[in-house]
Amino acid sequence: MNKSKVEKIFGKFAKCRILVVGDLMLDRYLWGSVSRISPEAPVPVVEINKEEHLLGGAANVAKNIAALGGKVKLAGVIGKDIFGKNLKSLLIKNGFSVDGIFADGKRPTTVKTRIIAHNQQIVRADREKTAAISNQLNHKIMNEINRLLPKTAAVIISDYGKGVVNYDLLKGIIAACNEEGVFVAVDPKETHFFNYRYVSTITPNHHEASFVAGKKITDEESLAEVGWRLLEQLEARSILITRGEKGMALFENDPKAKSGRRLTKIPAMARKVFDVTGAGDTVIAAMTLAAAAGASLQEAAFIANVAAGEVVAEVGTAQVSGERLLELVLERLGEAAF
């Protein structure tokens, strides 16, 4: 990868439309300070001085793509509640269409409430329902996908295990994407892992990969064993295992390689790590957008790794702009051994 290729990839971001399907969430942050312990229980009393609502889950994936300069469409479910209204308003405020967002009165909007004092998370409270959405909602989402797919460069399935991504919907999405030749990427949940067959790429972290493979990744040998085993079982084009401070490992089925497959290890790019919240969203957003813009999977993974290294230096879910990421990738280009 050279400077010219990188600039060509980034130059195509604005022409790429990515469809994000999955679990939409509202990230609610309550900021405050602690000066005393509660007399009711041995817990700190947090005096709240600021409340902030941010896009979370699949909505944060979409926000990452938009920040990089790509075009985004969303498909997902919210509840008929105040948090659903807040989430919908926030999506509109951020410039997203809500045509593919469907409300369900039988389930709450997924909300993660984090209480933070002195830049330290004290507790997180979740409001959710994880049962699969109804067949009726599956049909609505699938109809929206089929409507958008002809003008879509890639599809991201963002699975947080909150009910939107289920077997029937997955089967329909993956089949439709493969039939149309559309790149399809999955940010997985362990419980659904072996339903993500025939995808273009899947991005588990090393804990998720270890769990589903039934073998803990402890060294380079076990990493290779887990990666190749999962790639074979999923019959996927590639699997990108994120490894925290150890970087990433990309396993590919590649007919151009001598053995028909290829392993690329990419070192971590983070200069400092402050908060890993939402880093997986950044990885799949950057990798998918880069692949849609003409990058090889190796190049797309390298770009995603640089992007993740930037956002973990921020508190909460953060995004990196296309301009900033281009600058960072060009700075680190010498570290791309391909």
Catalytically active residues, by annotation: 281
Q: How far apart are CA 122 and CA 220, in angstroms?
A: 35
Q: Decide: 220 and 263 in contact? Cβ < 8 Å.
A: no
Q: Check: CB of residue 322 under 8 Å from CB of residue 69.
A: yes
C-alpha to C-alpha distance for 63 and 56, rounded to whole angstroms:
9
Q: How many CA atoms lie within 13 A of 102 on its CB side?
A: 21
In contact, 338 and 300? CB cutoff 8 Å = no
Indicate the SS3 state at residue 155: strand
Query: 19 Cβ partners below 8 Å, 6+ apart?
Result: 72, 73, 74, 75, 145, 148, 149, 152, 154, 155, 156
The secondary structure of 104-141 as a DSSP string is: ETTSPPEEEEEEEETTEEEEEEEE---SPPPHHHHHHH
